[in-house]
């Protein structure tokens, strides 16, 4: 099994890069394990307090559970990964069955942050994009998919997203084997990654 970490700032194009890799390799061989599913449950707090939490700090990810799941996948086990409700900031009751594949892509803003995960990667990728592009993408996503208002997205971006990106996400670029500028629309960079994985799979066959 080949484990690949795909990190980068919010709205940088991580998910697009990951999906294009899956599209190229085929779903029967490759799957995405989203780090967003591992946000900690905040149901013990009132809704107003949940809204004020800093969701762009590495401590809000239950990364030890993710590491445990990854290690079990590497051993050939199927795991049940959590799901998260970004409207209420709570973990859902439902879980998703996730089976081992030849290639697993760990995708999230902190994918390259935790050392326990980095040690397991065959390849580390940092997806880069200009800050204004990332903000616009996050604004559109949070309004459309997460029930947020323009004001709340702007306040969150200025209050926590940008400072946390500068402090915790951007520095993980130094751990990357490959940096993909222009996000998910960098055809050549994605082609390089896919070729690397394909050759690695051929050697392991």
In a domain, 32, yes or no: yes
pLDDT tens string, the chain, 205 residues long: the values are 999 999 998 888 899 999 999 999 999 999 999 999 999 999 898 888 888 888 889 999 999 999 999 999 999 999 999 999 988 889 999 999 999 999 999 999 999 999 999 999 999 999 997 777 777 777 887 787 777 888 877 777 777 778 888 899 999 999 999 999 887 788 999 999 999 999 999 988 7
Give the pLDDT confidence score for residue 17 in this predicted structure. Answer: 94
The token duo for 82 is 């959590």
Considering the domain boundaries, does residue 204 fall inside one?
no
Indicate whether 78 belongs to any domain. Answer: yes
Handedness of CA 12, 62, 99, 115 (dihedral sign): positive
Examine residue 44 and state whether it is found in any structural domain, yes or no: yes
SS3 (DSSP) at 106 = strand
Question: Residue 205 falls within a domain, yes or no?
Answer: no
Cβ-proximal residues to 102 (8 Å cutoff; 6+ apart), any chain: 1, 2, 29, 30, 201
pLDDT at 161: 78
Coil/strand/helix, residue 192 = helix
Tokens coding 180 = 């993909």
pLDDT at 149: 81
Q: How many CB atoms lie within 10 A of CB 50?
A: 15
Position 102 in a domain: yes
Domain that holds residue 127: 2-196
Residue 202 lies in a domain: no
Q: How far apart are CA 42 and CA 44, in angstroms?
A: 5
120 lies in some domain = yes
- The residues, ordered by sequence, that sit 6+ positions from 153 with a Cβ below 8 Å of its Cβ are 138, 139, 142, 143
Torsions phi, psi for 4 (to 5 deg): -130, 130
What confidence score (pLDDT) does residue 89 get?
A: 87
CATH code assigned at 86: 3.40.50.300
Number of compact structural domains in the chain: 1
């Amino acid at each position: 099994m080949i484990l690949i970490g795909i990190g980068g700032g919010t709205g940088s194009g991580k998910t697009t890069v990951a999906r294009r890799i899956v599209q190229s390799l085929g779903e029967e061989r490759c799957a995405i394990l989203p780090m967003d599913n591992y946000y900690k449950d905040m149901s013990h707090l009132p809704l107003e307090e949940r809204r004020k939490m800093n969701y762009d700090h590495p401590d809000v990810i239950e990364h030890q559970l993710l590491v445990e799941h990854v290690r079990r996948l590497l051993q050939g086990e199927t795991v049940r990964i959590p799901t998260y409700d970004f409207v209420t900031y709570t973990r859902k009751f439902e879980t998703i069955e996730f089976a081992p594949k030849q290639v697993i892509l760990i995708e999230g803003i902190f994918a390259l942050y935790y050392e326990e995960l980095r040690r397991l990667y065959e390849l580390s990728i940092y997806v880069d994009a200009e800050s204004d592009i990332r903000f616009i993408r996050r604004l559109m996503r949070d309004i459309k998919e997460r029930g947020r208002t323009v004001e709340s997205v702007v306040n969150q971006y200025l209050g926590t997203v940008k400072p946390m990106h500068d402090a915790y996400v951007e520095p993980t670029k130094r751990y990357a084997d490959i940096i993909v500028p222009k996000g998910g629309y960098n055809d050549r960079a994605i082609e390089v990654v896919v070729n690397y994985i394909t050759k690695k799979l051929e050697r392991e066959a």
